[in-house]
Structure 1
Amino acid sequence: MVEDYSGLMSIYSKESPDLLRNAFDSILAQTILPKEFVCVLDGPIGLNLTEVVKWFKSECSNRNIKIVFVKNPVNCGLGISLAEGLRACSYEYIGRFDSDDLNNPERMEVMLNYMNEDKNQDIAVVGSQIAEFSDSPQRLIGRRKVPISFNEVAQKVFLRNPLNHMD
């Protein structure tokens, strides 16, 4: 079973240092950790975010996770930044993480297991449902559910993106 994957995240100056730290904590709590983590710094990010990134770099080093930084001299936006980060990823499998999301500890393990099943060898991308919370993670405010079967995805793909992606 293939368990090696790259993690990928883009960070820009308007991120919350607290949310970024929580997102990093949830990545480090994965039951299968990435072998490398590509962190795109989309323009200058300021001192507070830089401190959180330094902490994460240290934690990655402690866990033998190679960390790669891609630095945009100016803010280019999420799409361009992720495209740049994607080119820096070394592994076939890539876990896309957002800088303000909390990930279930088993997220990558479940997705990797699914991708590794013999019957799923032609699958190119997997995703999940999303629970949305207010400022306090204690208060669930909604869920983003997307179609999960091939036929459901095929019916919806021309109407909207059939994969959850945070704004």
Structure 2
Amino acid sequence: MPRASIIMPVYNNADFVLEAVNSMLGQTYRDFELILIDDGSTDGSASLISRITDYRVRRIYHEKNQGLVSTLNEGFGLATGDYIVRMDSDDISTPNRLELQVSFMDQNPDIGLSAAAFTSSSAGRPKVNPANHEEIKTWLLFHCCLCHPLVIMRNSLVQRLGVRYDSNYPHAEDYELWNRLAFETKVANLPANLLFYRQHSGQVSHLHKAIQDDSARRIRQRQFNKLGLELSAEEYQTMLDFVFFRINQWDQHSYTRALGFANWVLEQNAKHRVYDQQMLNLVFSRCISNLPY
């Protein structure tokens, strides 16, 4: 039985899939299975992965497209390793990715899920997300700060909690799951750059932005419900001003409105103790000051 099970859904990524697969098969850490699930591709992706001969590869083919959520949940059911690792079929992992991630999880048994830093261009600076649990848990109210194709989680956690992606949040199913799991287990981010995250016109954020934005709104509202708050449309727009670091400190009306919103949320958090109060205050302050992590 392998230590790690890598789940890689494939759908119409013939231009990139073999590069993604080879970046996993070439890992310095070799005790894994690679579960490739072709979700009804029509561009030749299925034919490409059928030619892979590495014994660690398991292939599943769907006659018809079932969607990413269904495919990922199928992968959870197929995984036999101690760890479940996510990887997308259009990205590239660094050769030492698994070695570092498995070692980190082995050394930190209290952490149920972790990710790492990534870059989206060959010459770009790595995107380093918040590192520790309280930081991540709080920032998740604002941003999806766990890179989906870089996540590693304990299979025991998945089985114990019956973890599955929720199809009620299309194109933000990962953001929903991280917000949910941050209240069930400790999460972390390694500062090491372990992935080249490919950006192209076929990504969800380009094709389904309106649907993704609506799912994100409902995820955030669910978190605000824990604080006893139901945001109006105007209040949610103020929240988005924090999310996108667009509060104008020189506009008295904008600044006063934002400060009032932050104080309102902090007062409710002091009552309900959903987030670490000091960390929530820090996040609001950094958003107002336009200081991303």
Structure 2-normalised TM-score?
0.47
**Equivalent residue, structure 2, for 1:52:** 48
In the alignment, structure 1 segments of 5+ residues that lack a partner are 134-138
Residue 34 of structure 1 and its aligned partner are, at CA, apart by 4.4
Based on CA coordinates, which of the two structures has the bigger radius of gyration?
Answer: 2
For 1:62-141, list aligned pairs within 5 A.
65=56, 67-117=57-107, 120-133=108-121, 139-141=122-124
* Preserved contact between residue 127 and residue 163 of structure 1 (Cα < 8 Å): yes
Indicate which of 158, 161, 165 corresponds to 2:141: 158
Q: Identity of aligned pairs, percent?
A: 24
RMSD: 2.0
The SS at the match of 2:80 is: coil
**Residue-pair matches, total:** 149
Amino acid at match of 2:32: K
Residue 140 of structure 1 and its aligned partner are, at CA, apart by 3.1
Separation in 2 of the partners of 1:48 and 1:34?
29
Structure 1-normalised TM-score?
0.79
Amino acid at match of 1:124: G
The SS at the match of 1:71 is: strand
Residue 73 of structure 1 and its aligned partner are, at CA, apart by 3.0
Separation in 2 of the partners of 1:102 and 1:7?
13
Amino acid at match of 1:126: S
The SS at the match of 2:38 is: strand
* Preserved contact between residue 38 and residue 45 of structure 2 (Cα < 8 Å): no
Indicate which of 126, 130, 140 corresponds to 1:147: 130
The SS at the match of 1:24 is: helix
Task: Give the structure with the higher percent helix.
Answer: 2
Greater RCO, CA 8 A, separation 6+: 1
Residue 35 of structure 1 and its aligned partner are, at CA, apart by 2.9
Quick check: 27-36 or 86-95, which moved more?
27-36
* Preserved contact between residue 6 and residue 95 of structure 1 (Cα < 8 Å): yes
Q: Deviations over 1:21-78 (max 9, x none)?
A: 11111111101124322111112x246323320232x1x12xxx1x333333321222
